[in-house]
Structure 1
Amino acid sequence: MKIQNLVCFTIGICLWANVGLADETFFRSIQQADLNTAEAILQKDASVLEARDKSGYTPLLIAAQQNNLPMMKLLLEQGANVNAMNHKRRDILNIAISVRNPEIARLALQAGADPTLVTSVYQGSALIYATHQAELEIMQMLIAAGAPLNRVNNLGWTALLEAAILGDGSENYASAVKLLLEAGADKNIADKKGKTPLNHAQDKGHQLLIELLDDSVEE
């Protein structure tokens, strides 16, 4: 038996999608962290791995949102798509940043998560988002995995600009900027108004960032 859910995509199109009752039961097992039921359902029908809820979350994305590493491991072992995104184009790496759990990012990257994906409605990347949140350990993992250092999102911001514009100038954001610079990020890329990360740091009086970004400041 099938039931119908209204699924709306980011491009503004809404479609009635058939969702099996087995999918509903599977989602419930994920939400309740019921490994035994989830595994039993998977043994009967592996297609439920890529079912979607009304927000476009797959079971794996829900497990990540809940910080449920054992469930994530089960789903990945059974072949869940580690690069799936929800309707807001958030992937599992973005979710790891949202819930501030480096272990999720580590497990996802080991399973083949792609740090080069264009993610979020801002058309950015997991690295840009991790920099915004000053999630240093996840930043290190993403950089080591080959995340693009100089991607520009649709706001006109790189990861360095994100740190300078949205960061509070604290030690954490200074460390985020240092990680990016040491990895080779270009500090001279300006935003849509022609302002560089240094310009933003100067405007805000964020001295720690100024010292890292200004070539004229002696180290």
Structure 2
Amino acid sequence: MLRLLALSLALVISGCQPIYGTLLNNEKQQATQTVKQKMDQSNKDFLTATEKGDTGAMIKLLAEGADIDSTDERGRTSAMIAVHTKQLSVFKLLIEKGANLNIRDDRSDNPLLYAGAEGMLDFVKASIAAGADTKITNRFGGTALIPAADRGHVEIVEELLAHSDVDIDHVNNLGWTALLEAVLLGDGGNHHQTIVKLLIAHGADVNLADSKGVTPLQHAASRGYSEMVQALTAAGGK
């Protein structure tokens, strides 16, 4: 600063104010770049601390200005990293500190979408309780409910239906609802039978057909899924 003041005085006396302005602007640009570099490093350190589960370092870095929603080279926020590394306590800390759970990574996943598809019930519960947006979709255009239904995650489906505003009849890019996927991609076993019954009980449209006009009942019948056929028929399926 003293150097700048001395230079300023000398340039004013010599009548070289335009040159001084250029030098001052360069100094400001360098200072801005330095601040950005420090922030980038702070964010990188924060994401590393999250992956390691070092909550002490995380809290310290946040207090020093690290961005809780900064992302790594895969587009993952700290919240997404906590889910990937199955660190529930870290995930809850991030929620407490105000992490945005709706940001999707480079694969169009966010904590709720990923946890729902992978059957990670506690993370789904924490996400719902924190107000995660259930309308956000994955790379296939599906909500968290759809992959949970097709993979047979009974508890996830039940949690979403009972404690969130997820759209039970949302249609993904394949033209399938959660009910259709439970039939089409399920194995017809107990888990998928239970999911079909849960969806029916919560008001799923049993006659909402796929893009070719085939209904859930017709798909179930063609696969010989007798339990599903009975449940869908009793619910008015055609």
Between structures 1 and 2, the one with greater helix share: 2
Q: Name the SS for the 2:68 alignment partner.
A: helix
Q: 1:63, CA displacement in angstroms?
A: 0.3
Q: Name the SS for the 1:137 alignment partner.
A: helix
Q: Find 2:197's aligned residue among 175, 178, 186.
A: 178
Q: Name the SS for the 2:139 alignment partner.
A: coil
Any unmatched runs of 5+ in structure 1?
Answer: 4-18
Aligned counterparts of 2:72 and 2:192: Cα–Cα separation in 1? 35
Q: Is the 8 A contact 1:65 1:99 kept in 2?
A: no
Q: 1:216, CA displacement in angstroms?
A: 9.3
Between structures 1 and 2, the one with greater strand share: 1
Q: Paired residue for 1:51?
A: 70
Aligned counterparts of 2:235 and 2:158: Cα–Cα separation in 1? 27
The one-letter code sitting in structure 1 at the alignment partner of 2:188 is G
Q: Deviations over 1:129-150 (max 9, x none)?
A: 2111221111112112121111
Q: Paired residue for 2:226?
A: 207
Matched, 1:164 2:183: yes
The one-letter code sitting in structure 1 at the alignment partner of 2:141 is Q
Aligned counterparts of 1:160 and 1:210: Cα–Cα separation in 2? 12
Pairing 1:63-212 to 2, within 5 Å after superposition: 63-115=82-134, 117-144=135-162, 145-212=164-231
Aligned counterparts of 1:209 and 1:66: Cα–Cα separation in 2? 36
Q: What is the aligned-residue RMSD (CA, Å)?
A: 2.0
Highest Rg: 1 or 2? 2
Q: Is the 8 A contact 1:161 1:191 kept in 2?
A: yes
Give TM-score scaled by structure 1 length.
0.86
The alignment-based identity, stated in percent, is: 35
Q: Paired residue for 1:38?
A: 58
Size of the alignment, in residue pairs?
201
The one-letter code sitting in structure 2 at the alignment partner of 1:195 is V
Give TM-score scaled by structure 2 length.
0.79
Q: Deviations over 1:25-45 (max 9, x none)?
A: 111111111111111111111
Q: Paired residue for 1:9?
A: none
Q: 1:212, CA displacement in angstroms?
A: 1.1
The one-letter code sitting in structure 1 at the alignment partner of 2:43 is D
Aligned counterparts of 1:101 and 1:88: Cα–Cα separation in 2? 18
